[in-house]
Chains A and B, each alone.
Chain A
């Protein structure tokens, strides 16, 4: 199956800092989603971005499908940004394959 690698595994930020999370995948994909898992376990959809660039407030994402990677940018981080960020991809079947996640801690 398709392999998904996320880096870094852990990230500690001071409030107001910017950061970049990376997702590498091993095969061509027709779906890529970024999720934020909050402390209660809920997975929040951030972006559906199989290719190109999207922005939503302080978050933006870029997927370069031909080079098999995606980046999630967090600008002016806030304590509410803390949690685990997952990248998930889908190839030709119906399942999403998840990376192991990046745990982000934003300190006040």
Chain B
């Protein structure tokens, strides 16, 4: 089946630890995105990548890092510098030059 997978579904970490969230797509999409959702709010863009080996900061990139070494994969690292990392993280992808984005199932990160 074609789609976007995110793992794990739930993730628990201690404060001060870096953690990496996985996002993989087999839709042959060129562009990939990471969003953060806090309770009762809409989504906010963290990072996006239009092509392999290139990515740009979104609205709330501080405390996060990404890589795009393969077209299918766009992992997000939540670093210890992120002040409020507990949130729901969603990955999305789209075709090049297409404006329609498709979302993965998300990862709920809890940092204590």
Known: A31-B99, A86-B42. A42 touches B48 (CB 8 A): no
B100 and A45: CB pair below 8 A? yes
Other-chain residue from B37, B40, B101 in contact with A33 (beta carbon distance below 8 A): B101
B48 and A94: CB pair below 8 A? yes
Binds B, one of A51-59, A63-71, A73-81, A96-104: A96-104
Residues of A near B44 (CB, < 8 A) are 98
A41 and B99: CB pair below 8 A? no
B48 and A41: CB pair below 8 A? no
B106 and A98: CB pair below 8 A? no
Known: A30-B99, A95-B59. A86 touches B108 (CB 8 A): no
Residues of B near A95 (CB, < 8 A) are 33, 45, 48, 58-59
With A and B bound together, what is the CA distance between A97 and B87 in angstroms?
18
Other-chain residue from A45, A90, A100 in contact with B102 (beta carbon distance below 8 A): A45
Q: Classify the secondary structure of B's interface with A.
A: strand
Q: Give residues of chain B (46-61) contacting chain A, Cβ–Cβ below 8 Å.
A: 48, 50, 56, 58-59
Q: Which of B41, B42, B43 has the most CB of A within 10 A?
A: B42
Other-chain residue from B45, B56, B108 in contact with A41 (beta carbon distance below 8 A): B108
B95 → chain A closest CB, angstroms? 12
Other-chain residue from A35, A48, A100 in contact with B99 (beta carbon distance below 8 A): A48
Whether, in the assembled complex, A39 has its beta carbon less than 8 Å from a beta carbon of chain B, the answer is no
B49 → chain A closest CB, angstroms? 10
B42 and A42: CB pair below 8 A? no
With A and B bound together, what is the CA distance between A41 and B103 in angstroms?
10
Q: Which 9 pairs between the two chains have the least Cβ-Cβ distance?
A: A98-B42, A31-B99, A43-B103, A48-B100, A95-B45, A98-B43, A41-B106, A100-B42, A42-B105
| 6 A-B interface contacts by CB (under 8 A) | A31-B100, A48-B99, A90-B99, A94-B48, A100-B42, A101-B42
Interface residues of B (CB under 8 A from A): 31, 33, 37, 40-45, 48, 50, 56, 58-59, 88, 90, 99-103, 105-106, 108
